[in-house]
Structure 1
């Protein structure tokens, strides 16, 4: 990692869905990186990607990571040519920099936001949901409880009776 006194923080734009690759490749090159990730649980319950459950968190800022390096020891062309990197955010041709205090505040804000996102992502008992895929697609149900990170118990009406069924979290969504 670049520990030079002249190191500055830069905002790096990545190629689509290549944030993790860019971060890993920059770190191999001695660049300190920060890639804030949204919580796994919130994403699994609320979203799907290409009809497949999302298995890991996603970047808070899609296509952007933060990188700290000294341009005297690691030139910007080396950073821009890193696999997964598209460009360095610039204004008037000059790479934009961020202060350490701004990165610290960003980290602090995201750390405070994660518990709120998790709380919002977990339905409360009695919340109405709609099943969006699987055997019960199109049915409305009532959320009962979580069964770990990947499944939940839902109360639904089948053949005139209320029954409890275990459903993948990615197979239902909230009804607002």
Structure 2
């Protein structure tokens, strides 16, 4: 029997072997297991040169999205690079979907990437314009306009106008 909805899927935390998060992530993806490894770009100075490198937001930890009843926990524990699931009081720890969404958004913002509006904003959401001529204005998210832009409904002189904004310029209220 194939389940159509993913309502029983939950996010779990796995503890990885030291410096093997990327190996574990790759092996989980090869097994078709949705996983998330939050990283941020950081500027470092090495031998007088500034370089940009990626660092783990939570070193040695990955988030995985599996069905609690159908998920093969022993297969995941035996995946190369993974030590075990994070537990509190002997019980495997789950993470709310909303927290994962917030972490993804945080990674986009910290890495100065375009906000992934498909997963973060829905039609009708209120947003605030953070930069440009309309800075501080409140608008309503209408739709995506390509990968880096979104269409917003902005009330100008008591008329709603549809205007395109860069995803970097807006944030959800």
**Per the shorter chain, which TM-score range?**
0.5 to 0.7
2:140 corresponds to which residue? none
Any runs of at least 4 consecutive aligned residues in structure 1 with deviations exceeding 3 A, and if so which? 53-56
Distance 1:7 1:47 in 2: 43
Higher RCO (CA 8 Å, separation ≥ 6 residues): 1
- Map 1:66-145 to 2 at 5 A: 66-115=63-112
* Residue-pair matches, total: 107
List runs of 5+ in structure 2 lacking aligned partners: 113-173
Counterparts in 2 of 1:54 and 1:83: CA distance versus 1, 3 Å: farther
Pick from 28, 31, 42: which aligns with 2:30? 28
Distance 1:84 1:46 in 2: 29
Q: CA RMSD in A?
A: 2.6
1:135 corresponds to which residue? none
List runs of 5+ in structure 1 lacking aligned partners: 116-176
Q: Please state whether the residue corresponding to 1:79 is helix, strand or coil.
A: helix
If the length of structure 1 is used for normalisation, what is the TM-score? 0.54
- 8 Å Cα contact 2:13/2:85 also seen in 1: yes
The answer to which structure has the higher strand fraction is 2
Distance 1:98 1:80 in 2: 18
If the length of structure 2 is used for normalisation, what is the TM-score? 0.54
**What's the CA shift for 1:10?**
0.6
Q: Please state whether the residue corresponding to 2:76 is helix, strand or coil.
A: helix
Q: Please state whether the residue corresponding to 2:13 is helix, strand or coil.
A: strand
**What's the CA shift for 1:93?**
1.1
Distance 2:59 2:51 in 1: 15
